[in-house]
């Protein structure tokens, strides 16, 4: 099925308009954090950018982003910066869905239809709404991650490596895709990624200084050790159930989390090693599994996996696939999590429900991979040469 290219532009424009009406009035706290970080750096207050006692305790981007912000605050007021970022975010989110729909082999549903369904889903699921309202950097990181996956599948290693390096500078956990590329034999993507990371880090140290990078690492460590309220991960569930009163993660929690993450990375690596042909959905499955066991996994960390959700339309058909997508998306919405939010806080059921829904989506992706991997049945040939 095909639609004219301008249909996709109409879908993106409609999605942008809906996002503007729903989220443009939001306070955009992350944009404010970035603006304050740039302002502090422009004033020469480098030590205050990542200060745990300051206004920017949640700020955990690579220092080079604070340097860019320090240049921007001298040219733009906060309102203009917010307007620019808030207006760009929906286009990037819709672009993620569109890019994710491109590398598909048996196309029974058009890219435009997949983009439309994916955009509608993003307007309702909590990872999408949270990112559009307050976590715009996750949208850019998700866009770059999806672009890295798609470009790698399309055998454009230079762009793939550059995109993953850019995503890593915003959301460090996506770097876990690099060892999977390595064992999959995608040497060029991995080499470009590592070289780009080295260059970006060198530039960041050169323009921001080594002390700011020490503060950056300390901020990441503080984030790792902090309570995990609102994060969708095994780490968050483990902490809520086993150490509900802990103000900082105890050693046993940290050790258990590290062992689980290492085991998941090892299992994912073994599952990919030796495969001659890797389905595109393998990467969001692997990324979801690895994100689920990291301590940094907020809802918006799963945007790359959700961008591939419209592939279920091609697997199950438009009607059945639409129902399957609704079933996967509903537990990720406010309406879906509302009833379980009334349960005792100690059970942490909203996090459990969101995490299990994303794992169920991964299982459906795996089913799609296995179905696509099945060889086409050969027709039965009779003795007279005719086929069944």
pLDDT digits (tens, 9 = 90+) for 24-79: 888 788 888 888 888 888 888 888 888 755 444 456 788 899 899 999 888 889 88
Summarize pLDDT for 282-305 with one digit per residue, the tens: 999 999 988 888 877 788 889 999
Q: What are residue 125's DSSP bridge partners?
A: 333
- For the record, the structure tokens of 385 come out as 């040469």
Q: Which residues contact 323 (CB under 8 A, 6 or more apart)?
A: none
> 103: helix, coil or strand?
coil
Calculate the alpha carbon distances from 207 to 2, 36, 166, 185 in Å: 48, 18, 17, 35
Q: Where are the chain's structural domains?
A: 5-373
- For the record, the structure tokens of 107 come out as 């196309």
To which residue do tokens 């942490």 refer?
348
To which residue do tokens 């080295």 refer?
198
- For the record, the structure tokens of 276 come out as 């001659």
Report the distance separating Cα 370 and Cα 363, nearest Å. Answer: 11
- For the record, the structure tokens of 102 come out as 């491109």
Summarize pLDDT for 345-362 with one digit per residue, the tens: 666 677 778 888 888 899
Report the distance separating Cα 31 and Cα 11, nearest Å. Answer: 26
Do 272 and 286 form a contact (C-beta atoms < 8 A)?
Answer: yes
């Amino acid at each position: 099925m095909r639609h004219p290219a301008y249909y996709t532009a109409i879908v993106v424009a409609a999605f942008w308009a809906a996002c503007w009406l729903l989220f443009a009035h939001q306070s955009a706290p992350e944009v404010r954090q970035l603006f304050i970080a740039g302002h502090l750096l422009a004033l020469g207050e480098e030590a205050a950018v990542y200060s745990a006692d300051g206004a920017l305790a949640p700020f955990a981007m690579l220092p080079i982003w604070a340097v860019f912000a320090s240049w921007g605050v001298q040219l733009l007021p906060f309102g203009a910066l917010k307007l620019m970022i808030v207006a760009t975010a929906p286009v990037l989110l819709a672009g993620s869905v569109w890019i994710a729909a491109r590398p598909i082999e048996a196309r029974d549903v058009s890219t435009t239809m997949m983009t439309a369904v994916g955009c509608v889903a993003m307007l309702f699921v909590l990872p999408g709404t949270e990112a559009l309202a307050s976590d715009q950097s996750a949208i850019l990181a998700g866009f770059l991650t999806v672009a890295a996956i798609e470009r790698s599948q399309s055998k454009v290693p230079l762009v793939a490596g550059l995109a993953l390096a850019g995503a890593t500078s915003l959301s460090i956990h996506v770097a876990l895709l690099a060892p999977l590329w390595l064992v999959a034999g995608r040497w060029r993507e991995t080499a470009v990624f590592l070289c780009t990371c080295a260059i970006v880090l060198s530039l960041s140290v050169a323009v921001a200084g080594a002390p700011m990078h020490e503060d950056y690492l300390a901020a990441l460590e503080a984030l790792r050790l902090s309570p995990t309220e609102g994060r969708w991960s095994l780490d968050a569930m483990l902490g809520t159930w086993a150490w509900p009163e802990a103000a900082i993660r105890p050693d046993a929690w940290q050790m258990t989390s590290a062992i689980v993450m290492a085991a998941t990375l090892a299992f994912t690596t073994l599952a990919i090693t030796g495969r001659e042909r890797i389905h595109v959905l393998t990467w969001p499955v692997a990324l979801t599994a690895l994100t689920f066991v990291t301590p940094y996994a907020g809802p918006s960390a799963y945007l790359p996996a959700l961008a591939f959700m419209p592939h279920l339309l091609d697997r199950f058909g438009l009607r059945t696939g639409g129902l399957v997508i609704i079933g996967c998306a509903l537990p990720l919405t406010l309406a879906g999590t509302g009833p379980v939010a009334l349960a005792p806080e100690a059970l942490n059921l909203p996090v459990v429900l969101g995490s299990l829904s994303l794992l169920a989506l991964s299982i459906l992706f795996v089913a799609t991979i296995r179905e696509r991997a099945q060889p086409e049945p050969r027709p039965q040939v009779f003795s007279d040469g005719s086929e069944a």
